[in-house]
Amino acid sequence: MIRRQRPSLPKIATMALVALGLGFGLAGCATTSEPVEPPPPPVMQTLPPSFPPQDLVGSYGLAAYHKPEDKERTEAAAVNQCNQPYVITMGPTGGVMMHLADQPTPTELRVKGAPGGKNFIGPADDPPGSSLDREVVQFDGRVLILRFMDAEVHGRYGSMVYVRCPPEGVKKPKPAAKPKPAAKPAAAKPAAAPRPVQPPIQRQ
C-alpha cells in the first residue's frame, strides 16, 4: 500500500502566500484598468451682465462666419440683410426673445454675466456657459457677435453677426470715400524779359 505524503506546514504556508499574492495582483489589475473620469468643469457664478437686456432690442441684419479673417466681410454682408431683419424684442419676464439653435420659434432668454467680464445669452435656469448658451463675443450697441457654446452647433452655424439696421427712412451709411490726393501746385511761369527802352530822339 502506497502512502501519500502530506504537505508540510512550511509548504502550506508558502502556497497560501502565493495564492494571496495572485489575488492581490488580479485585484490590482482590475482597479488600474478602469478609466478615470475627469472631474466635471466648475459651474460659473451668475453675475449681473455688462449691459441691460433692453439694449439688445431692435432690428438686425444677420450673417455668420467660421474664420476670424472673414469677420469684417460678414459685417458688411449682415447690413445687406436688413431688408429681412432679425427682430429682438423684450420678453414677458425681463428677458429677450431670441431663437435657440434649431428651434423655429423664439424663446425668452436671459443675459447672464460671468466672472472675467464675460456675458452669455441663454435659458434662465442654466448657469453661464451652459451648452444652450451663446457667449457675447462683441456688443457695442450696433454690432452683436455671438458664439455657440455647443461645439457641434458652433461648427454648423459659426459665429453669428447681428448688425443693427438704421431706422426706417434713413439710408444705409455708405463707406467713407478715400481722400483724393492733393493736386500738385502749377509750376510758375518764367518772368518775361523786359522790353528794351527806346532812347529819346535828339533833335539837332
Q: Tell whether 169 is covered by a domain.
A: no
Nearest to 81 by CA among 17, 172, 155: 172
The pLDDT value recorded for residue 83 is 95
User: Residue 126 corresponds to which cell in the numbers above?
Assistant: 442654466
Paired with 26 in beta bridges are none
Give the range of the structural domain holding residue 123, as residue numbers without chain letter: 53-164
The pLDDT value recorded for residue 190 is 58
Give the number of domains in the chain.
1
* Residue-wise pLDDT tens digits, 88-145: 999 999 999 999 999 999 999 999 999 999 999 999 999 999 999 999 999 999 999 9
**22-31, 138-147, 173-182 — which one is most confidently predicted on average?**
138-147
Q: Tell whether 16 is covered by a domain.
A: no
pTM: 0.65
**What count of other Cβ atoms lies within 10 Å of the Cβ of residue 142?**
13
Residue 20, H or E segment? helix 9-33
Q: Tell whether 21 is covered by a domain.
A: no
Q: From CA 153, how far away is CA 59, in angstroms rounded?
A: 24
Q: Let me know: does 130 contact 141? Beta carbons within 8 Å.
A: no
Q: Let me know: does 80 contact 73? Beta carbons within 8 Å.
A: no
The pLDDT value recorded for residue 192 is 58
For a pLDDT cut of 90, what percent of the chain falls above it? 59
Q: Tell whether 29 is covered by a domain.
A: no
The pLDDT value recorded for residue 168 is 72
* Residue-wise pLDDT tens digits, 44-78: 888 999 999 999 999 999 999 999 999 999 999 99
- Where are the strands (E) in the chain, listed by range? 58-65, 86-90, 96-98, 107-114, 118-122, 134-139, 143-148, 159-164
